[in-house]
């Protein structure tokens, strides 16, 4: 025990993260299914390192009005308290209230992909989320505020030179509304986050990108806390249709 080193443990974690992503990039990049390989690589990575109350998967998202999102490459959702996750013809469907974050995951980022990711982010945020009052001792009925859903981008590379330069930042800043991308990782070069206090994206190059991204993601998930309780009654009305 006396010979253990936190620095060595974190370095080993980073090496494992980079090895997983490098293997996926090499393997799937040579088989013509690089897009699918990208999301599977990130899903495996997230499920390995995120706390167990979270699960990452490729999924559709549904709200209590019966509106479905497009399929999202990587969805991080609550697996501890969510009352139902649907499986239909091999596809997963998650209620919007259980969703913490949604990512577009592809091998390479470019202007077209960023715009697509922003549109998908906006479509997810347009879904209706129910709220449910809970009884708090001494405080009566309280409704937990709905935390914003994080949306982001996960890739190995970008088509820009430099990878996280002005053009990349310009593409991110193109939509700071419903389509805003809050966090993401370009595994070979760096990661980015949106700073609410400064109202701008912060791009960080180097710094062990994928591992730094994981730490930042966990930090943001901790701030969000538990997902709000799903109003099951709002969904159960569909049983009568």
Q: How far apart are CA 182 and CA 61, in angstroms?
A: 19
The helix/strand/coil state of 128 is coil
- Say how many C-beta atoms besides its own lie within 10 A of residue 96's C-beta: 25
Of the candidates 63, 106, 120, 220, the residue annotated as catalytic is 106
The length of the chain in residues reads 241
Of the candidates 39, 63, 73, 97, the residue annotated as catalytic is 73
The strand pairing partners of 142, in sequence order, are: 134
Please give the biggest Cα pair distance in the chain.
65
The helix/strand/coil state of 67 is coil
- Known catalytic residue at 159: no
CB-CB contact of 115 with 122 (8 Å): no
The helix/strand/coil state of 115 is helix
The dihedral through the CA atoms of 107, 109, 115, 119 has a sign that is positive
Cα 57 to Cα 99, 112, 213, 232, distances in angstroms = 11, 24, 18, 22
Of the candidates 55, 78, 97, 104, the residue annotated as catalytic is 104
- Known catalytic residue at 144: no
- Known catalytic residue at 104: yes
CB-CB contact of 46 with 211 (8 Å): no
Annotated active-site positions, please?
Answer: 73, 104, 106
């Amino acid at each position: 025990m006396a010979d253990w080193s936190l620095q060595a443990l974190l370095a080993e974690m980073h090496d494992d993260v980079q090895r997983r992503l490098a293997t996926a990039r090499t393997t799937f990049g040579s088989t013509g299914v690089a897009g699918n390989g990208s999301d599977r690589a990130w899903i495996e990575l997230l499920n390995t390192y995120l706390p167990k109350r979270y699960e990452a998967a490729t999924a559709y998202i549904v709200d209590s009005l019966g509106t479905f999102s497009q399929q999202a490459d990587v969805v991080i959702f609550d697996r501890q308290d969510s009352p139902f996750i649907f499986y239909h013809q091999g596809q997963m469907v998650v209620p919007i209230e259980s969703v913490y974050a949604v990512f577009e995951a592809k091998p390479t980022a470019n202007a077209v992909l960023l715009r697509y990711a922003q549109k998908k982010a906006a479509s997810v945020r347009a879904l209706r989320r129910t709220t449910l009052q809970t009884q708090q001792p001494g405080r009566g009925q309280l409704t937990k505020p709905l935390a914003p859903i994080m949306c982001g981008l996960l890739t190995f590379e970008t088509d820009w030179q430099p990878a996280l330069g002005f053009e990349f930042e310009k593409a991110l800043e193109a939509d700071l509304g419903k389509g805003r991308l809050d966090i993401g990782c370009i595994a070979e070069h760096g990661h980015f986050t949106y700073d609410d206090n400064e109202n701008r994206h912060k791009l960080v190059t180097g710094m062990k990108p994928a591992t730094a991204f994981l730490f930042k993601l966990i930090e943001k998930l901790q701030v969000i806390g538990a997902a709000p309780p799903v109003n099951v009654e709002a969904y159960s009305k569909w049983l009568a249709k």
